[in-house]
Chain A
Amino acid sequence: MTPRDRLKPLPVAAVHIVLALLPGELHGYALMRKVEELSDGTVRLGPGTLYGTINRLVDDGLIEETTGRVARQDGERRRYYQLTSGGRAVALDELSRLQTLVRRVRSRLPKDATA
Chain B
Amino acid sequence: MTRNDAIVAAYRVLQRLYPRAFREEYGDDIVQLFREQLRDESSWRVCGRGLVDFAVSLPTRHVEIRMARNRTPALVMLVSLVLAATTFAFVEGLVGVAVAALGAALAIIIWRKERPARAERGAAGRWWKLLTSGIALLAIVLGATTAMGELSEPEWVVFAVALLVSVTLIGTGTVLGVIHLTDRHRANRIAA
Contacts and interface: CB of A to CB of B under 8 A. Distances in A.
Interface of A: 6-10, 22, 28-29, 32, 44-52, 54-56, 59-62, 77-79, 84-90, 92, 96
A58 B117 CA distance: 11
A8 B183 CA distance: 18
B124 interface: yes
B33 A28 contact: yes
B49 to A, nearest CB: 6
Interface range on chain B: under 10, 10 to 19, 20 to 34, or 35 or more? Answer: 35 or more
Interface of B: 18, 22, 25-26, 29-34, 36-37, 49-50, 52-54, 56-58, 60-61, 64, 112, 116-119, 121-125, 180, 183-184, 186-187, 190-191
Contact of B57 (A44, A48, A60, A62): A48
Nearest to B22: A55
B49 A60 contact: no
Nearest to B187: A88
B18 A59 contact: no
B33 A85 contact: no
A32 B50 CA distance: 13
Contacts of B191: 22, 92
Contacts of B36: 29
Contacts of B56: 46, 48-49
B183 A55 contact: no
A90 B64 contact: no
Contacts of B116: 59-61
Given A46-B54, A85-B125, A52 B118 contact: no
Contacts of A55: 22, 25-26
B187 A85 contact: yes
Contacts, number: 113
A52 B61 contact: yes
Most buried by A among B18, B117, B118: B118
A8 B118 CA distance: 7
Grouping DSSP codes into helix (H, G, I), strand (E, B) and loop, the A interface class, with mixed when no group exceeds half, is helix
Contacts of A89: 121, 183-184, 186-187
A48 B118 contact: no
A48 B50 CA distance: 8
A56 B63 CA distance: 13
Given A47-B34, A60-B122, A52 B22 contact: yes
Most buried by B among A22, A46, A48, A92: A48
A46 B53 contact: yes
A85 B57 contact: no
B49 A90 contact: no
A47 to B, nearest CB: 4
10 contacts: A7-B118, A9-B117, A46-B56, A47-B34, A47-B50, A85-B125, A87-B122, A89-B187, A90-B121, A92-B191
